[in-house]
Amino acid sequence: MGLFDCFKKQDKPAVQPELEAPAAPETGLIDFHPYDTGLAKAVRALEADLRELNTNGRRPCGRDAFIALLAGVAALRKTPGIPSPNESGPNYFITLPKCPTPEDEAACRTHLEEVFGITDRESMLQFCNRELRCHNNYLDFEGFWEGRPPFDLKELNEGALEFFQVARDFSAQFYPIVGHKGYLAWDISECVGHLRAGYACGLLTREEFDEMAAYWVVQAQIFEDWTDFAVSLVCGELYWDFRGGSKLPELNKGMDLWSRLVHTLLNDGAAWASGLWYVPPQPTT
């Protein structure tokens, strides 16, 4: 069985499954035939649950607190040298950590180098752009669905074309849920999480950290609130797992794990449930 053979298309796709199919009048989408994995149903149930759980709208906060919140999922992981939630105070999720001792800094740097190959600002950028970012893939898929293809499929060789079409159809199941926001929250969460660790151990200077985080602060403004952010994040994680070769039931396990993680953050009054949100000032002319 091939990597993608365990999935099947929906019994009643939005359009007939033909390459470059005409737009379906009821959807306006082109070549749009999602895989039926059951994951979209699980994401919708998660969104409904989170909406009921999190009734807080946006409340203003400082820039550093917002950056820390963007890395909330990463903050739930144990990173060598960085204090864990149990070792920190009540403001853990809204403050940027620093490794408390030189030994802790060394442990964190060693972890970043050995696991991710990150040793400085440039390798940080290279790793994040190469390994973590999924939203650009989604934007390519969306371009085909909406009749504005970003490139000609004839440019792809046979293997690349097969992968692209299957990845596109896997992602199609999430399009009615996340729309243009796609997998952006996943990119933000993971990239800012790595920036957080790099700053904590002194691998990144404060100036480098601020410069690199600024892009993600602006990108995050597309989301209405933390529930909106959480749904995009979970969809992006599922795609990241899928792109890496995961099949069912591994994807269902990922869905369960990440549902618990976002629930943890939305259950915690000091984390996403606080509604804290920073809006950068508009540039003056």
Q: 12 pLDDT exceeds 70? A: no
| Percent of the chain's residues with pLDDT above 90 | 82
Mean pLDDT of 51-58: 83
Per the document, the length of the chain is: 285
3-state helix, strand, coil in the chain (%, to 5): 60, 0, 40
Domain boundaries, given as residue ranges, for the chain: 39-270
Residue 276: beta bridge partners? Answer: 59
More confident residue, 21 or 29: 29
pLDDT at residue 14, rounded to an integer: 36
List of long-range contacts for 109-114, beta carbons under 8 Å, 24+ apart: 109/81, 109/201, 109/202, 109/203, 110/80, 111/79, 111/80, 111/81, 111/197, 112/194, 112/197, 112/198, 112/201, 112/203
- CA-CA distance, 265 to 276, in Å (whole number)? 12
How does pLDDT run across 79-106, given as a tens digit for each residue? 999 999 888 888 999 999 999 999 999 9
With b for 16 or more beta-carbon neighbours within 10 A and e for fewer, the 90-119 pattern comes to eebbbbbbebeeeebbebbbebbeeebebe
Cβ proximity of 213 and 192 under 8 Å: yes
DSSP state of 94: G
Compute the mean pLDDT over every residue in the chain, rounded to the nearest whole number.
90
Whether residue 21 has pLDDT greater than 70: no
Sign of CA dihedral 84, 85, 87, 93: positive
Lowest mean pLDDT among 49-58, 104-113, 207-216: 49-58
From residue 281, alpha-carbon distances to 36, 145, 158, 277 in Å are 43, 34, 47, 13
CA-based torsion, 126, 258, 69, 98: positive or negative: negative
**What is the per-residue pLDDT across 116-169, written as a single tens digit (0 to 9) for each?**
999 999 999 999 999 999 999 999 999 999 999 999 999 999 999 999 999 999
What is this structure's pTM?
A: 0.90
Per-residue model confidence (pLDDT) at position 27: 64
In the numeric block, which tokens belong to residue 186? Answer: 């996943």
